[in-house]
Amino acid sequence: MIQLDHIERVFQVGDQKVHALHDVGLKVERGEYLSIMGPSGSGKSTLLNIIGLLDRPSDGQYFLDDKDVSLLTEKEQAKTRREKIGFVFQFFHLVPRLTAAENVELPLVLAGMMPGERKQKVSEVLQAMGIGDRMHHRPEQLSGGQRQRVAIARATIMQPTVILADEPTGNLDRASGKEVVEILERLVDNGLTLVVVTHDPELGQRAKRQIKMVDGSIVSDTLRSV
């Protein structure tokens, strides 16, 4: 489903070139649970952004569902993000002036869905995340764990095939981090593909497939022994 071949990503900083990714090849099948670990600056976020079509590789090829994404227009890429990919960020990235429900509704609004249909879905998803009673609260009125659950609800409401999570627990305490991880893992049980970037080895080791990156390259790709 996701196939990366010889991906390079070079940033130009002044007159210096920063090689964030070097010859990365990766194949992820539908329904896989993958964690990416590695030291800071090893290119984990960069890789995730490329998978999520937020960034383009400098070189190499990326096939998503057997389609070469470099051939897609900006508009088609946006549509792909909207329909196939859900993002979960370390800093939640909720819109502060909107309520939890409105934040979750945002992807549906962007997709042009009718309001009646939207309300129904939003409340279902928020119930499923266990924050149905916080629907009309704004982000500042929610705890970190609740905010991340709102963000996950938003990432899943379009029923994407992949969830990309960059340090989803990085800003949470242990307990609420654990809750968030359990919610994400439930998504895998329902057939979604999950890619988690993390610094936390305990969290990383929960994934079936673990990838380690160093200096922009994948140095190990192991399956968890059951």
Ligand X SMILES: Nc1ncnc2c1ncn2[C@@H]1O[C@H](COP(=O)(O)OP(=O)(O)OP(=O)(O)O)[C@@H](O)[C@H]1O
Considering the complex, state which of residue 11 and residue 91 has its C-beta at the smaller distance from ligand X: 11
Question: Which residues in this chain contact ligand X in the complex, by CB under 6 A?
Answer: 11, 13, 18, 20, 38, 40-46
Considering the complex, state which of residue 158 and residue 203 has its C-beta at the smaller distance from another protein: 158
Residue 41 interacts with, from another protein, Mg ion, ligand X, none (CB under 5-8 Å by kind): ligand X
Residue 11 interacts with, from another protein, Mg ion, ligand X, none (CB under 5-8 Å by kind): ligand X
CB of 72 to Mg ion, least distance (A): 25
Considering the complex, state which of residue 51 and residue 142 has its C-beta at the smaller distance from Mg ion: 51
Question: Which residues in this chain contact another protein in the complex, by CB under 8 A?
Answer: 49, 52, 54-55, 74-75, 78-83, 87, 89, 91, 93, 95-98, 102, 106-107, 109-112, 115, 154, 158
CB of 155 to another protein, least distance (A): 9
Measured distance CA(52)–CA(81) in Å, rounded: 7
Sort strands 33-37 and 193-197 into parallel, antiparallel or unpaired: parallel
The residues near 187 (Cβ < 8 Å, ≥ 6 apart) are 152, 156, 163, 194
Is 213 in a helix, a strand, or coil?
A: strand
Of 205, 208, 223, 196, nearest to 47 by C-alpha is 196
Q: Which two tokens stand for residue 224?
A: 């968890």
Residue 78 interacts with, from Mg ion, another protein, ligand X, none (CB under 5-8 Å by kind): another protein
The answer to whether residues 198 and 35 touch, using CB atoms and an 8 Å cutoff, is: yes
Q: How many amino acids of this chain bind Mg ion (CB under 5 A)? A: 1
Considering the complex, state which of residue 118 and residue 206 has its C-beta at the smaller distance from another protein: 118
Give pairs for 221-224: CB < 8 Å, separation 24+.
221/26
Would you say the C-alpha torsion 2, 53, 221, 171 has a positive or negative sign? negative
Residue 46 sits in the site that holds Mg ion (CB under 5 A): no
CB of 107 to another protein, least distance (A): 5
